[in-house]
Amino acid sequence: MNKWNRVLPVMVALLMVSGTAFGADDLYRGYIGIGAGFCMGGAVLGGALAQSNAARGVYESISRNPQAAGKLNAPFYVGMAFMESLVLFALVVAMTLVTKI
């Protein structure tokens, strides 16, 4: 682990200056793809955690009060749709970024 603590900052620094070292015109074009990947990764992680937390809450409520299952279905599915729509919006943003490469 100590080796990686020394090597990783050097690798990142070389990545930052490699475009100027090789005389690239579009220096930051490669970072768009990395940004799109982080955009999708963060959105998917956040969406999955939110959906699992919502499902846990609904199923916990149903296990405590089985008669409330009918009343919890519609808000649960609407909430899941809203959470999934945010992930799809992030996909649109990532695809828009990728088309600029």
16 occurs within a structural domain: no
70 occurs within a structural domain: yes
Number of domains comprising the chain? 1
35 occurs within a structural domain: yes
9 occurs within a structural domain: no
Token pair for residue 8?
Answer: 């990783």
3 occurs within a structural domain: no
Say how far apart CA 46 and CA 95 lie, in whole Å: 18
67 occurs within a structural domain: yes
Q: Report pLDDT for 50.
A: 94
4 occurs within a structural domain: no
Provide the whole-model pTM. Answer: 0.67
φ, ψ of residue 29 to 5 degrees: the values are -65, -35
Q: Which domain holds residue 62?
A: 26-98
**3-state DSSP assignment of residue 28:** coil
Q: Report pLDDT for 64.
A: 94
- We report the CATH number of the domain holding residue 76 as 1.20.20.10
φ, ψ of residue 48 to 5 degrees: the values are -65, -40
Q: Which residues of the chain have pLDDT under 70?
A: 1, 18-27
47 occurs within a structural domain: yes
